[in-house]
Amino acid sequence: MGLRDALRKDTGGIGLRRVLVATDRSETAEHAVRFAGEMAVRFEAELLLCQVVVPPATPSATAREDLTEYGRGFAGELARGVVAVGEDPAQAIVDCAEAEDADVVVVGNVGMSGRKEFLLGNVPNRVSHNSRRTVIIVNTLQRMESQQKKGWLGR
């Protein structure tokens, strides 16, 4: 019996098969990816790194492979890249989670700001309200500030 089977048995059948994390590969998003990666490793679940491309932009030919390689730094062979294309980033994440049958969706609480946020709305909030999946919103700003303080105090 593997760890995943043991966890499902010990928790009454609750387990994770797929953890989807939305990332734009920014410094703040990396905190959410790290959180999701640790969860995936702990539950021996697949880590899906979802990057949203908003038209008219198009994904690069190597986007999935690049995301997979990036994800391997957090979850080894459990990582897989997924590219979602859509006008509405929050809906693209929700749709991707459905298409990939993710058990959990992880998003950071810091991302777009200013005019883009006003026009598109708060992406993490909209994902949490529109997804039929469990959604975890990682406080990426607090983690960034904590690391900056540690760096400053450590000098």
pLDDT tens-place string over residues 52-101: 999 999 999 999 999 999 999 999 999 999 999 999 999 999 999 999 99
Question: Tokens representing 132?
Answer: 């039929």
Q: Which of 54, 49, 53 is nearest to 65 (CA)?
A: 49
Cis-peptide, bond into residue 56, ω within 30° of zero? yes
Strands 46-53 and 18-22: parallel
CATH code for the domain of 80: 3.40.50.620
Q: Is residue 3 part of a domain?
A: no
* DSSP bridge partners of 51: 83
How far apart, in whole angstroms, are the C-alpha atoms of residue 121 and residue 13? 36
Which band of pLDDT confidence, cut at 50, 70 and 90, is reported for residue 117?
Answer: very low
In a domain, 6, yes or no: no
- Name the residue range of residue 49's domain: 11-153
State the total domains in the chain.
1
Domain membership of residue 4 (yes or no) is no
Dist CA 84 CA 64 (whole Å): 10
106 found inside a domain: yes
Residue type, 36: A
What is the per-residue pLDDT for 28? 86
**Global pTM?**
0.80
Q: How confident is the model over 8-19, as pLDDT tens digits?
A: 445 455 579 999
